[in-house]
Amino acid sequence: MKYKNTIVALGTLVMFLSCATNPLTGNKTLAFVSNSQIFPSAFAQYDKFLTDNKVVNGTSDSEMIKRVGQRIAVAAERWLNANGNQGYLKDYQWEYNLVNDNTVNAWCMPGGKIVFYTGILPIAQNETGVAAIMGHEVAHALANHGQQRMSAAYLQQGIAVAGNIALRDDKNLGIYNQAFGIASNVGGMLPFSRSHESQSDEFGLTLMAIAGYNPDEAAELWKRMKANSGGNAPPEFLSTHPSNDTRISNLQGWSAKSKAEAKKFGVTSFRPLGEF
């Protein structure tokens, strides 16, 4: 019993010490790995990706991606400084690239390395649509969601190993591992991922608004995303992302709040949509 209590106490201490503060929410989050460990690897992977793929340079679209990204990053720094997080971005290395690929996607690696695929531009439809996507991706980077997901995966693996050690019964190990795999994913990892997506949706609106882009367009973007998907999506509880309808409803509800936040930074009107 003393042994078990010691393990629990040590585990609690590790959890307490392995936390970082999320600047977007002010809450403590898992941080079993540090940015100093993650960023160099992420930067190297990003460089390799660019080498292995067709990066678009010197076009109006590629320049627009960079322009929007820089505006969103400036908005992020303004917001962070105003909320007591000066210097938070010192280790970030923002980079925004357009890649020639029909995939309807954009993504951000830890530390601010962002890729847009050309396949998402027709759905973005205009520069403000691009800003909605960019705000979401930059929010992922600011919140260190990559760090949190990696930490959660370590935690999930650790609990699985602890269960296997505790059981020491080959007859029940298979049942335990199967049940734990399903329960920890559906009840833990997937909701965790969906919460990150919603958090990035919400704060992304604030970033695009501070950068001078109308946050109302974000919901319109997701209406186009929904139409493009043709309704082919898994049930929300089995997905890493909220459903299209959930996202549209949330974005519509958050838009006024993001405009009010932008007003604190002197932004009272927004750029034209800027169709391309």
- Residue 231's φ and ψ, nearest 5 degrees, are 80, 5
Q: How far, in Å, CA of 256 to CA of 243, rounded?
A: 21
Radius of gyration of the chain (CA): 21
Q: Which residues contact 243 (CB under 8 A, 6 or more apart)?
A: 233, 236
Dihedral angle over CA of 16, 17, 21, 22, nearest 10: -80
One DSSP character per residue, 162-219 reads: HHHHHH--HHHHHHHHHHHHHHHIIIIIHHHHHHHHHHHHHHHHHHHHHTT--THHHH
**Cα 82 to chain center, whole Å?**
22
Q: How far, in Å, CA of 97 to CA of 56, rounded?
A: 7
| β-pairing verdict for 19-21 and 28-30 | antiparallel
Q: Look up 137 and say whether it is catalytic.
A: yes
Catalytic-labelled residue, pool 77, 95, 127, 137: 137
Instruction: List 275's β-bridge partners, or say none.
Output: 126
- Count Cβ atoms within 10 A of the Cβ of residue 135 and give its class: 0-12 exposed, 13-18 middle, 19 or more buried: buried
Q: Which amino acid is at 255?
A: S
Active site residues: 137
